[in-house]
């Protein structure tokens, strides 16, 4: 039989790496919940139309979507991102506004896999639906910022831009289109052909042809209407008040069509430029209506879990450490004592593990080393007969060497050693 492997662009995340994921998600959950965001779980697949409505002109929707017909003939797609699902859910459930939610989970895009770019990748994110207040933009951006900061990442930047709204964007779009039409021959193949679909995308293109052709392109920031200009100024003022450093990047248009006003991205100075975005987001004040709901503003972001952990590795911050247990129970009497002692230790709040299958002493101590435990609890025939256990330091640093204590005093001894 041919060897079965995970599909190209996907991978298994196993311990100890998975412990870093769990810690990152837990940290994000605490951060989001503390700011009034509740967990939202939406389906991993939706009607194709949910995603088509949000980004018909984008690569993500046009070229990278995993879409399929189910056995009932429905045309569905694995989600390439979460915002569209959350907005669909809002329209369907109509929770009270503002509706502030956070999420974690996988997304699927048929991209060329490489380091930091997968076909199934995981995002943390949040969405705040129901307010157009610029201070909400500051809250949302500030929450992502505080997560990076709490993780000890120091080489994360923040780029922001404003894309205007349906008052000032159409005029700007025309201006940009006229500018680019005059330079159509200089653009890359894709943007030459698809210029009319969304001329803004040429600004975001990383190909040298497009970058050169758009150097002097008109900038949306110079053509904002008065309310959009005031909104952007208020966002910047808020970020400065919170001490969040940022740079204005007038080329930042981002991948999906639905953004209005504030857009932002968090590049990491520690990663290769092709995969350096640790996250991004923006306002989508027209999206709810475009998807068939009542006019309702919203803003959100998505952060890539794989990218954040890569940045942790690249910056060498502590979050890169593994998980592991506190105590490993080595039982040389057949396993029944290990069964009972690990259960007692866990009930007392310790992370405890053991070996199974009555392995040799050597194999059990090897497993204890691999487990990352600082202490081993050893139960041999002598201890079992005397109603005692031996506690042994595995790492150095826990004071006290090896001692034998009454089984009833094991909890005290572990507490004394591990604090």
Q: How far is the CB of 247 from ligand AMP (least distance, A)?
A: 17
Q: How far is the CB of 334 from ligand AMP (least distance, A)?
A: 48
Q: How far is the CB of 103 from ligand AMP (least distance, A)?
A: 12
- Between 84 and 327, whose beta carbon lies closer to ligand AMP? 84
What span, in angstroms and rounded, lies between the C-alpha atoms of 157 and 244?
Answer: 9
Q: 3-state SS of the chain: helix, strand, coil percent to 5?
A: 40, 20, 40
- Between 11 and 351, whose beta carbon lies closer to ligand AMP? 11
User: What is the binding site for ligand AMP (CB under 6 A)?
Assistant: 81, 109, 111, 116-118, 121, 123, 255, 277-280, 302, 304, 306-307
- Between 262 and 364, whose beta carbon lies closer to ligand AMP? 262
Cβ(373)–Cβ(392) below 8 Å: no
**3-state class (DSSP) for residue 273:** helix
Q: How far is the CB of 306 from ligand AMP (least distance, A)?
A: 5
What span, in angstroms and rounded, lies between the C-alpha atoms of 345 and 377?
Answer: 10
Cβ(81)–Cβ(92) below 8 Å: no
Give Cα separations from 80 to 42, 86, 93, 313 (angstroms): 13, 13, 22, 26
**What is the helix (H) or strand (E) element at residue 49, kind and residue range?**
helix 48-55
What span, in angstroms and rounded, lies between the C-alpha atoms of 186 and 176?
Answer: 15
- Between 265 and 383, whose beta carbon lies closer to ligand AMP? 265
- Between 20 and 109, whose beta carbon lies closer to ligand AMP? 109
What span, in angstroms and rounded, lies between the C-alpha atoms of 403 and 415?
Answer: 14
Q: How far is the CB of 116 from ligand AMP (least distance, A)?
A: 6
- Between 149 and 340, whose beta carbon lies closer to ligand AMP? 149
- Where helices occur in 128-225 by DSSP H, the ranges are 134-150, 169-181, 189-193, 200-204, 208-213
Q: How far is the CB of 60 from ligand AMP (least distance, A)?
A: 7
- Between 168 and 244, whose beta carbon lies closer to ligand AMP? 244
Q: How far is the CB of 83 from ligand AMP (least distance, A)?
A: 8
């Amino acid at each position: 039989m041919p060897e079965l492997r995970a599909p190209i662009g996907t991978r298994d995340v196993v311990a100890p790496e998975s412990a870093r994921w769990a810690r990152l998600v837990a940290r994000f959950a605490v951060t989001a919940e503390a700011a009034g965001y509740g967990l939202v779980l939406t389906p991993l697949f939706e009607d194709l139309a949910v995603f088509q409505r949000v980004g018909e002109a984008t690569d993500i929707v046009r070229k990278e979507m995993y879409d399929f017909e189910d056995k009932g003939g429905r045309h569905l797609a694995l989600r390439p991102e979460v915002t569209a699902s959350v907005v669909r859910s809002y329209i369907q459930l109509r929770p009270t506004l503002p509706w502030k939610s956070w999420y974690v989970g996988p997304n699927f895009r048929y991209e060329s896999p490489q380091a930091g770019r997968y076909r199934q990748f995981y995002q943390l994110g949040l969405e705040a639906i129901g307010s157009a207040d610029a201070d909400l933009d500051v809250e949302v951006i500030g929450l992502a910022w505080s997560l990076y900061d709490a993780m000890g990442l120091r080489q994360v930047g923040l780029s922001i831009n404003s894309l205007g709204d349906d008052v000032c964007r159409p005029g700007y779009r025309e201006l940009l289109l006229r500018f680019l039409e005059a330079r159509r021959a200089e653009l890359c193949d894709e943007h030459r052909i698809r210029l009319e679909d969304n001329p803004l995308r040429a600004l975001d293109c990383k190909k040298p042809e497009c970058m050169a052709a758009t150097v002097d392109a008109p900038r949306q920031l110079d053509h904002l209407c008065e309310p959009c200009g005031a909104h952007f100024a208020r966002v910047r003022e808020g970020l400065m008040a919170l001490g969040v450093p940022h740079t204005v990047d007038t080329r930042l248009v981002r991948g999906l069509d639905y953004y209005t006003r504030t857009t932002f991205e968090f590049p990491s100075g520690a990663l290769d430029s092709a995969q350096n975005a640790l996250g991004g987001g923006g306002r989508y004040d027209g999206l709810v209506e475009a998807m068939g709901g009542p006019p309702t503003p919203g803003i959100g972001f998505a952060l890539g879990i794989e990218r954040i952990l890569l940045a942790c590795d690249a910056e060498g911050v502590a979050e890169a450490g593994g998980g592991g247990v506190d105590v490993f129970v080595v039982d040389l009497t057949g396993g029944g004592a290990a069964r009972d002692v690990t259960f007692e230790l866990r009930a007392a709040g310790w992370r405890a593990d053991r070996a199974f299958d009555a392995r040799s002493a050597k194999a059990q101590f090897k497993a204890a080393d691999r487990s990352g435990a600082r202490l081993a609890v050893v139960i041999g025939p002598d201890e079992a007969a005397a109603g005692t256990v031996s506690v042994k330091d595995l790492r150095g640093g826990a004071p006290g060497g090896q001692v034998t204590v009454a089984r009833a005093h094991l909890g005290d001894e572990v507490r004394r050693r591990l604090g």
